[in-house]
Amino acid sequence: MRFYFRYILYFAFAATVVSCKKPYNPPAIALAGSYLVVEGVINSGSDSTFIKLSKTVKLSNATVTNPVVGAVVSVQGDQNSAYPLTEAAKGYYVSPGLNLNSSHTYRLSIKTSNEKYYSDYVPVLNSPPIDSLSFKIIDTGLTVYSATHDPSNTIKYYRWDFQETWIIHPIFSSEFISNGDTVLLRTEKQNVYTCWRTDTSSIIVLGSSAKLAKGVIFDNPVTSLGHSSAKVANEYSIQVRQYALTPEAYTFWTNLKKNTEQLGSIFDAQPSQINGNIHSANDPSEPVIGYISVGSTASQRLFITAKQLPSWPPPYPNEDYPHGDCMSTIALYTYYPKGSTIPVNQVNEYINYNKGATNPLIPYLPIENPGGPLLGFEAVAPICADCTLQKGATNKQPAYWKF
Amino acid sequence: MRKTYLFSFCFLFFLQVAAAQQSKLLSVNFQQATIGQVVNDIESKSGYHFYYDQTSFDSLKVTLQVNDKPLETILDMVFKNTDFHYAITPQQQVFLTKGRQIKTELAPGFLTTTTANVSKPVSTVADYTDERDKKVAEATTENKVYEIGIKTNSIPPGNATLSGYVRDIKSGEAVVGASIYVVNTKTGVATDNFGYFTLSLPRGRHILNVRGIGMRDTRRQIVLYTNGKLNIEMQEQVNSLKEVKISADKVANVRSVELGVTRLDIKNIKQIPTAFGEADVLKVVLTLPGVTSVGEATTGFNVRGGAADENLILLDGATIYNPAHFFGFFAAFNPDIVKDIELYKSSIPEKFGGRLSSVLEITNREGNKKIFTGSAGIGLLTSRLNVEGPIVKDRTSFIFGARTTYSDWLLHLLPQAYKNSSASFNDANLDISHQINDKNNIYLSSYISNDKFRLNSDTTYAYSNKSIILKWKHNFSTKLFSLISGGYDHYNYSISSTANPVNGYDLSSNIGQANFKTDFTYYASSKHTVNFGLSSILYTNNAGSFEPDGVKSLVVPQVIATEQALESALYLGDKYDINTNLSISGGVRLNIFNYLGPQIVNTYAPNLPKEPDNVLDSTAYPSGKIIKTYISPDIRLSARYLLNDDLSIKAGYNTLHQFLHLLTNSTSISPTDVYKLSDPNIKPEYGDQVSLGIFKNAAANTIEMSIEGYYKRMRNYLDYRSGAVLILNEHIEQAVIVDEGKAYGVEFLIKKTAGKLNGWFSYTYSRTLLRQNDPNAGELINGGAWYPSNWDKPNAFNFTGNYKFTHRYSISLDIAYSTGRPITLPIAQYEYAGSERVFYSDRNQYRIPDYFRSDFSINIDGNHKVHQKTHNSWTVGVYNITGRQNAYSTFFTEQGGVISGYKLSIFATPIPFINYNIRF
């Protein structure tokens, strides 16, 4: 009997081996046309109905916003009722509470400058209330969950969107402000160290109880926050809004989510066409993006403070304040250069915008000898001390803020 | 009729001493005699003296009664069908040996032989006939003339049949695909999967040239009197371990009737550099013309425009549903066990059916029938062990192979997203072959593979293949033989998740098939070879069950009703050699598919899309009821015309039906795929193909060239509606749309099979287009126009080469190029639901960047002394030398409200590897 033993040694620089994800920008893609995009829900309750009309733009466009203005928009019932919407802002069409009859079906009618569009007639689906919002600590941060149930067991499909508000602090706390001519102490109203920043959801959150025996949605994840996120560094609030969906609407949203959020892993399917329920009156083959649902919504708010969370590492740098931008501070004085009798006023030069400062900095710390006179200020770039400069941030406390 | 069995289980024993005749005619009567008794008896009756090793003969029991025969005849009878040999010297010495024969000056059998090389231990060749007492095996030699059949003084005109086995002298294994070429008549045959051949020849003297993959070329001289047998043993070619031989049959390229058939030996396969140095039997298939990969790091492949599920993958006759391990990174076939593979992409023999594009036949080795051997290996990702050896020497052997993995460390090197992943897989083969007697062989093959892995989530995927098959080969005569097989194949997958206690689930599915098959081959005459048989497959498909996992789970169990169907086929084919230049092969295959109850089947309103709203009626059928029968005949035709000795033209036409569909919304075979049988609402897929080829050999058959063109039509091809849900869908017909397809292409191949530089390169131009233009289908894809399929890659180029500096040093180079596959690109962007999103183009209107990869390796062998304690070799190589970041997939995704395009590449840097092998 003979046996062969084989030993195989390998050296593989495996750390860089297996898979990598790189940006991919295919050659300019000629665009066949610009298609109508309809977004919104016909609110059957007492809340307002918002419909947003826009058109698609080329991928190479820097701005995506392309509102459709001057359209004639109305909600039409299957029994010839009609409720016109008015254009409240560019591309935003609004109607106050419609209080629609739940036993009827409704559609959206849109008349742009050169074409008419109609959605399919859609039944009214009112959302049950949200039972609870909760959060759980996970390895990477926290996840917010929502729960609901439909006692009548008729609603199986849900969508959620949300609005988050959180307190932000810049790296530097400034107690001084320039009125253009001179530097003064900040008042309470001029506070720029504490802001409430608000953002709306950019992900599609869907849930289904179709495979369960009861119409129960238990702890469906709504959003996850990393522990380095500035959102959870101080105080955080999230308002979750819940929509009930028909199976067709659920399919549309699932498809939209798949196409734009869920691709990229090894096992994913290739994208497919998205078919909404809005059609051109004259050319059925013209793509129209969007799905119109009719129904009331439910909402609930959750508050989380840093005290409820583990002591995660300090939040800087973070997406609100990338560290690099605020590395350098500058000390500004008024002084006499050697051999000169004309003073150089750096405070005017860099801070007081009426006296020469072109890109004014924000003074945050006085420079003075102990008990002596004020010599100058430490100053930083505005973004590093003024929280109101962040997108969606205000230094006025929202009415609902309960902390 | 004298039939003498040497092995009997009767325990009677008596010895009758008969008087010895004067010269050397002896009479003996043995009943269960041992060798000692036989020798004593003969020595007592004659002047002969025997020399032998008692222990070698302890298994021999002799039962024989003979009157007045010479000693040679008696010994021929005594040792018939055994591995024992004798030699008689003029000094009346008789040497009895096992396995090898001692050469003496006087060759037994009164045959004319030239002087044999005594110092060379050589194999024996059995030379027996059915019709009369056989002559026992002779010392092999190429110069000896073997007499086949009943010797007559004058040889009558006409043909006789020669058949037999070609075996490896060392291991006793069958040499598959060895070519036997008859010099005088310029005809040839190749041995089948069992090493068996049959050849019809004019009676008289012939020279047979025998060639086998990795074997030393040999030849036999015969005089063919009547039908008879010749077993040929070949020696392994020891000094050229790294030789690339594409096909055993050097003349087959030009002379065979088939088009689009490629056979590759495991030695070729092991020579091709792979990512982690693990030989992969499926990766090499991708280097052949007409075959393209579904994607890098997958083993799904497309043959001439067919989908990945249109390939029938057979492992020793068992259907393997998922041929991949570990997300498709490895083929699920153990390279230590596999002997060779054969891919049919055009001339699919009529004995195969049920798939539209190709048949990939993987053949495992037979266990060594002479000695126990084994090997064990420790690799980067896998460990393996295989053991083989005789159970009964020369008659029964087994081979066992197993592999397992410890690949978790590799997963931890994957990007962050896969950090918490785990994966394990294993596979095992156990094959037993047994020779009952000269006419009957049985083979038992079994296979199991398991995979279990978890991506960075709480979701666990698992899948498993299991197969067992028993084959019985029976030779009725030298002209008719049969292969009867029965077996069972099973595939299952499951996904489970307990991340959310209320939604904890276990989703699983499985498909099983019980097979029965008979294949008969009848060598009717020198001009006709007839194949016929029948096969039947009973499918049991559980397309999905969704069960709660965990006590808190509220999941409602949902089980897709079990589907059953019987796929049967009758076939008949004939290979007709009209004259030396023209051969045709024609066959018909009648497929009968019965969709069986119990089942609930929807009836849809005619001319309306198959949607829930259009269900007219729902009928429940009882168990065993035939719900729907599809009877679909297939035609297989091919013809070859020999323009001259090394140039031929071939044409073929075939039709195929497929009743089993793999539903996947992804471009690769992922383990979550769902199988679906044809039913009243989903018709069988149909394809037909016409092909034409020119085949040319040059430089003494060492260069093979071919050009093949094909045009293929497909009907009832399944594509999916946008956003189709395929898992747990009780009404799959509502999720699919029926396309028609067409594929065409031309394939160029040049192979060099000998010399310092050998290898092949291939270039293929091909297109695969689909169309959905039925207004009643509910959804027109791309407005009903032809659109490229996911695997439409017009230009594909492959080079695989090996250059041998010396017998010890060689280099291998692989180059692969293909057009990028089509994708659906975003063409516009818009704001929706708080984010920028993209609008996609028509289906498959754009392409990903072209694919290019080159691999290089240097092979260094230790010295080639046959008898030494250790044999070692090095392979040093780089996979993807240029480090090209080939796109595995491209996708556009939203991050932080901005849409960005990404390209996912796998194996995107040069991957160096060193392989050190030592055997002792």
* Residue B529 clears pLDDT 80, i.e. is over it: yes
Beta-carbon separation of B546 and A211 below 8 A: yes
Would you state the structure tokens that stand for residue B602, as one six-digit string? 């929807």
**Does A24 sit within 8 Å of B887, measured CB to CB?**
yes
Determine the 3-state secondary structure of A53 from DSSP: strand
- Structure tokens, A396: 């006025």
Min Cα distance A25 → chain B (Å) is 6
Cβ–Cβ below 8 Å for B722 and A274:
yes
Q: Which domain holds residue B828?
A: 261-919
In terms of Cβ atoms closer than 10 Å to its own Cβ (0-12, 13-18, 19+), residue B622 is exposed
What is d(CA A224, CA B852) in angstroms, rounded to the nearest whole number? 40
Three-state SS for B489-524 is EEEEEEEEECCCCCCCEEEEEEEEEEEEEEEEEEEC
Residues 6+ apart with CB under 8 A from B47: B92
Average of pLDDT values for B898-906?
A: 71
Q: Is residue B443 part of a domain?
A: yes
Query: Chain B neighbours among A 73-132 (CB < 8 Å)?
Result: none
Structure tokens at B720: 């999916």
- pLDDT tens per residue across span B106-142: 444 444 444 333 333 333 333 333 333 344 333 356 7
Closest-CA distance of chain B to residue A253, Å: 10
Q: Nearest-CA residue of chain B relative to A10? A: B914
A36 close contact with B: CB closer than 8 A: no
Which among B830, B805, B780, B658 has a CA at the least distance from the CA of B306?
B658
What Rg, from alpha-carbon coordinates, does chain B have? 31
Q: What's the CATH number where B151 sits?
A: 2.60.40.1120
**How confident is the model at residue B844, as a pLDDT?**
83
Determine the Cα–Cα distance for residues B520 and B474; give it in Å rounded to an integer.
Answer: 9
One domain for residues B543 and B628: yes
- The whole-angstrom separation of Cα A79 and Cα A106 is 9
Q: What DSSP assignment string belongs to B349-399?
A: -TT--S-SSEEEEEEEPPPPSSS-EEEEEE-SSEEEEEEEEEEETTTEEEE
**Residues making up chain A, counted from first to last:** 403
B834·A32 Cβ contact <8 A? no
**Rounded Cα distance, B424 and B410, in Å:** 11
Q: What is the pLDDT of residue A364?
A: 87
B414 CA to chain A: closest CA distance, Å? Answer: 6
Nearest-neighbour CA in chain B from A34: distance (Å): 8
Q: Pick B900's closest partner by Cβ from A5, A23, A31.
A: A23
> Rounded CA gap, B299 and B322, in Å?
9
> For all residues of chain A together, what is the average pLDDT?
84
Distances (CA, A) of B689 to B49, B262, B488, B709: 69, 18, 31, 10
Residues of B whose CB is below 8 A from A25: 901
Handedness of CA B169, B173, B179, B181 (dihedral sign): positive
- According to DSSP, the β-strands at B822-823 and B826-832 are unpaired
List chain B residues with CB under 8 Å of A1: 371-373, 389
Contact between B327 and A266 using a beta-carbon 8 Å cutoff: yes
CATH number reported for the structural domain that contains residue B32 in this entry: 3.55.50.30
Residue B29 lies in a domain: yes
In the structure encoding, which two tokens stand for residue A116, read together?
Answer: 């008419």
> For residue A278, which amino acid is it?
I
Residue B253 lies in a domain: no
Angstrom distance (rounded) from CA B844 to CA A365 = 61
Q: How confident is the model at residue B248 (pLDDT cuts 50, 70, 90)?
A: very low
Q: Across the A/B interface, how many CB contacts are shorter than 8 Å? A: 273
For residue B18, the model assigns a pLDDT of 32
Q: Are A272 and B722 an interchain contact pair (Cβ–Cβ within 8 Å)?
A: yes
User: Which of the two residues, B204 and B248, has the higher pLDDT score?
Assistant: B204
Q: Are B697 and B752 in contact (CB under 8 A)?
A: no
- Cβ of A7 within 8 Å of Cβ of B670? The answer is no
- Helices vs strands, H then E, count in chain B: 5, 59
Identify the H or E element spanning B409: helix B408-411
Q: Nearest CA to CA, how far is B561 from chain A (Å)?
A: 16
- The residue out of B238, B271, B289 marking a domain boundary is B238
Cα B319 to the center of its chain, rounded Å: 11
Distances (CA, A) of B745 to A109, B357, B708: 51, 14, 8
Residue from A36, A4, A25, A241 nearest A127 by CA: A241
User: Which pLDDT score is estimated for B277?
Assistant: 62
Give me the residues paired with residue B188 across strands.
B181
User: Is the Cβ pair B375, A6 closer than 8 Å?
Assistant: yes
| Residue that is written with structure tokens 């383990």 in the block | B671
Give dist(CA B531, CA B519) in Å, integer. 7
Is residue A36 within 8 Å of A68, Cβ to Cβ?
A: yes
ipTM metric: 0.81
Q: What is the mean pLDDT of each run of 10 residues along chain A (403 residues)?
A: 33 42 68 83 93 88 87 94 94 94 94 93 95 90 93 91 92 88 88 92 88 85 87 91 92 79 50 80 89 95 89 64 67 81 84 86 86 84 88 91 80
What are the residue ranges spanned by the domains of chain A?
36-123
Q: What is the spatial distance between Cα B645 and Cα B147, in angstroms, rounded to a whole number?
A: 29
Inter-chain CB proximity A2 and B826 less than 8 Å: no
Say if residue B124 is in the same domain as residue B83. Answer: no
Instruction: State residue A232's pLDDT score.
Output: 85
Nearest in space to A292 (alpha carbons), one of A276, A313, A279, A316 = A276
pLDDT in tens, B667-684: 444 456 689 999 999 999
Torsion angle, alpha carbons of B605, B610, B613, B618, to 10: 70
Residues B285 and B179 placed together within one structural domain of the fold: no
Calculate mean pLDDT across residues B517-521: 94
Residue B916 has pLDDT above 80, yes or no: no
Q: Does A7 touch chain B (CB under 8 A)?
A: yes
User: In terms of CA atoms, which chain A residue is nearest residue B845?
Assistant: A29
pLDDT tens by residue, A281-338: 998 878 899 999 999 999 999 999 888 888 876 656 555 655 556 767 788 887 778 8
Determine the Cα angle at B366 with ends B325 and B320, to 5°: 30
In a domain, B256, yes or no: no
Q: pLDDT tens digits, residue range B829-842?
A: 888 888 888 788 77
Residue B528, domain CATH: 2.40.170.20
Give, rounded to a whole angstrom, the gap between the first and last alpha carbons of chain B.
Answer: 51
CA gap A300, A399 in Å, rounded: 15
- Work out the pLDDT band at B396, boundaries 50, 70, 90: very high
Spatial distance between the Cα atoms of A205 and B600, rounded to a whole number of angstroms: 35
Pick among B408, B668, B669, B830 to test the A interface (most A CBs inside 10 A) = B830
Q: Are B447 and B476 in contact (CB under 8 A)?
A: no
Q: Are residues B327 and B216 in the same domain?
A: no
pLDDT tens-digit profile of B468-508?
999 999 989 878 889 999 999 999 988 887 777 777 888 88
Token pair for A283 = 């050319």
- On whether residue B565 sits in a domain, the answer given is yes
| Nearest C-alpha neighbor of B399 from the set B361, B434, B426, B425 | B434
Encoded tokens for B790 = 């996911």
- CATH code of A36-123, in short, is 2.60.40.10
Query: ω into residue B90 within 30 of 0, thus cis?
Result: no
d(CA B26, CA B24): 6
Q: Which of B834, B843, B904 sits opposite A161 (nearest CB)?
A: B834
CB atoms inside a 10 Å sphere around CB B609: 18
Name the more confident of B130 and B57: B57
Question: Pick from A56, A212, A272: which is nearest to B556 by CB?
Answer: A212
Q: What is the C-alpha separation between B752 and B8, in angstroms, rounded? A: 52
Asked whether the predicted pLDDT for residue B808 surpasses 70, the reply is yes
One domain for residues B81 and B130: no
Grade residue B319 by pLDDT with cuts at 50, 70 and 90. Answer: very high
Does B200 lie in the same domain as B301? no
Chain A residues with beta carbon closer than 8 angstroms to that of B667: 270
Give the residue with greater pLDDT, B416 vs A313: A313
User: Do B903 and A58 lie within an 8 Å CB cutoff?
Assistant: no
Whether residues B376 and B447 fall in one domain: yes
Distance between the two ends of chain A, CA-based, in angstroms? 82
Residue B750: burial class (beta carbons within 10 Å; 0-12, 13-18, 19+): middle
pLDDT at residue B64 tops 90: no
Please name the residues in contact with B354: beta carbons below 8 A apart, sequence gap of 6 or more: B312, B537, B567, B569, B591, B657, B658, B659, B660
Condensed to tens digits (0 to 9), the pLDDT of residues B358-393 reads 999 999 988 888 888 887 766 666 777 889 999 988
Average pLDDT, chain B: 80
Residues B38 and B45: beta-carbon distance below 8 Å: no
Place of tokens 């020779």: B435
Asked if A289's CB is within 8 angstroms of B413's CB, the reply is no
Beta-carbon count within 10 A of B914 CB = 16
* Spatial CA neighbour of B695 closest among B344, B346, B256: B256
A150: left (phi over 0), alpha (psi -120 to 50) or beta: beta
For residues B817 and B800, the answer to whether their CB atoms sit within 8 Å is: no
Domain count, chain B: 3
Whether residues B846 and A29 touch (CB distance < 8 A) is answered with: yes
Report yes or no on B470 lying in a domain: yes
> In this predicted structure, what is the pLDDT of residue B443?
94
What does the pLDDT read at residue B692? Answer: 95
Let me know: does B768 contact B305? Beta carbons within 8 Å: yes
The first and second tokens of residue B509, run together, are 């599915």
CB-based contact B903 A23, cutoff 8 Å: yes
Residue ending a domain, among B196, B223, B238, is B238
Contact A64 B841 (CB under 8 A): no
The span from the CA of B697 to the CA of B704, in Å, is 4
Q: CB under 8 Å to B172, separation ≥6 — which residues?
A: B366, B368, B369, B370, B394, B397
**Residue after which a domain boundary falls, among B99, B125, B147:** B99
> Is the residue at B250 inside a domain?
no
Is the domain of B118 the same as that of B90?
no
Phi, psi dihedrals of residue B608, rounded to the nearest 5°: -125, 150
Residue in chain B lying closest to A219 (CA): B500
DSSP A205-269: EEEE-TTBSSSEEEEEEEEEEETT-GGGTSEEEEEEEEEEE-HHHHHHHHHHHHHHTS--STTPP
